[in-house]
Chains A and B, each alone.
Chain A
Amino acid sequence: MSRLFAGLVLMGVLALAGVLGGCASGSPGSDQAQAGAAGEGDPWEPFNRTMYKVNTELDRYTLRPAAEAYSRVVPDPVRTGIHNILTNLAYPVQLANDMLEGKPRRAGDTLVRFVVNSTVGVLGAVDVAQHLGYPDHSSDFGLTLALWGVSGSPYLFLPVLGPGNPRDSFGRIVDIAGDPFGYIGQGTGVVVARWTRLGVNLIDQRAQYLGVFSQIRRTALDPYATFRSLYRQHRSAEIESVRADHARTVPAWFPVSAEPSDHSSSN
């Protein structure tokens, strides 16, 4: 565990070094353009390909068998419950990012989801809010930075963290550092719970993609380039969907009167 942590810290430093270099040359909205041409915006390709190989080997002996065992042993509904609890724990950070992105409706959705699912949904295990009309969405500090105009290049592949770029890696560090659950409570129990959450999170995330990853590794002629393409497209679609979300702050069920109120004239 401590070795994993050291690895994460090292990656963080690498990512930070990258973000300083990346910001200077970055221009807003360049994600979309780069999704088009393979190989463009990947000046660190030799390094990235090495890291990709390291990650593939690491994955083969650690995360993948763990995720496979997890999927085999733990029944489907329990896994969904665990996934929901982990998602729910990330909502305080998501709420902060929704607000930083200047999207009040999304922030409201996240707040309602956190309150409803944490209580009625039994600590987040059951996604009650979804059925009440508060759908989930993605939000992280990388997305926030993207909306603020920070470029998503150059491409950066890191072991464990996978495909990304300095902006998104930096965003991830901020998200981890800003997570209130990282500060609340003390004692051995809390420390164990924190590490358990991190470990289960890694396995849960990996288990989500078991089928997809193995299929890509089997069918793609250049899996590295395929993952790069998929990541960039998916990320720019996410960014665009946040940018284009101008949903009303007032929810659909709220009674909006057709006539303007005339409080002032009644005096």
Chain B
Amino acid sequence: MALRRSVLAIIALGLALAPAAGFAQGSGESAAGFIQRMGQQLVSIIDGHGSTAEKQAALERIVDSDVDVSGIARFCLGRYWRVATPAQQQQYETLFRKVLMISIDGKLGDYQGVRFTVGRTVPRAEGQVVATTITAPNKPPTEIDWVVRNIDGSWKIVDVIAEGTSLRLTQRDDYDSFIAGHGQSVQALIDALRRQVSQNA
């Protein structure tokens, strides 16, 4: 137990030191700067001209470049990731990305006139946590924390925390319970995700 704890401590220390002071090695951009830049891009897309389809395409480009989609997908499958066959893993990752895009596209209309204010950055074991306040007209301001990590020299979003709830943790609990309720079958989850995608296509 003591050994495990000290090993964990060393790992945590390593994680804390690696992206020293919250700067990515390559660009020298801070975690807060990254979120600020991404927020501005989001706002300019949402408030910009252009058709819904064009906006969705632009949004998807941002997600692909700034979000660690495959890392989040793996996290959400939790203990079942290792049970899945390589083919299932690949299918799952592809479907996960599509479902994520559908859910983001669906929120496009809700965030017209949205504003981003970037607050403090706090280093934690899971990454640099950048606090933001999001204000949209006629809505109470929402506190959103972005968990970002330096992956191969650039910042990637690995989790979003809204009102104390982690998006990826909630998703993992959802999938975990679904798989457990379907005879521990990863294939059942893949089929369900495929239905979700086809319903929204």
Q: Which chain A residues have a beta carbon within 8 Å of chain B's beta carbons?
A: 35-39, 76, 211, 219-222, 224-226, 228-230, 233-234, 236-238, 240-241
Contact = CB atoms under 8 A, between A and B. Distances in A.
Interface residues of B, dominant DSSP = helix
Interface residues of B, number: 21
A219 B193 CA distance: 10
B178 A229 contact: no
B164 A38 contact: no
B176 interface: yes
Contact of B178 (A36, A225, A237): A225
Given A221-B178, A221-B192, A228 B165 contact: no
Interface of B: 103, 110, 138, 163-166, 169-170, 172-178, 180-181, 189, 192, 196
A38 B172 contact: yes
Contacts of A36: 169
A241 B163 CA distance: 11
Nearest to A223: B174
Given A220-B174, A224-B177, A226-B173, A76 B165 contact: no
Contacts of A39: 176-177, 180
Nearest to A49: B181
Given A219-B103, A233-B170, A234-B163, A38 B196 contact: no
16 contacts: A38-B174, A76-B138, A222-B174, A224-B177, A225-B176, A225-B177, A225-B178, A228-B173, A229-B169, A233-B165, A233-B169, A233-B170, A236-B164, A237-B165, A240-B164, A241-B164
A219 B98 CA distance: 13
Nearest to A233: B165
Nearest to B180: A39
B130 to A, nearest CB: 17
Contacts of B176: 37-39, 225
Contact of A225 (B165, B174, B189): B174
B48 to A, nearest CB: 24
A114 to B, nearest CB: 20
Contacts of B169: 35-36, 229, 233
A234 B164 contact: yes
B196 A229 contact: no
Given A221-B174, A225-B173, A237-B164, 15 more contacts: A38-B173, A38-B174, A39-B176, A39-B177, A220-B174, A221-B196, A222-B174, A225-B177, A225-B178, A229-B165, A229-B170, A230-B170, A234-B165, A236-B164, A241-B164
Contacts of B175: 221
B178 A219 contact: no
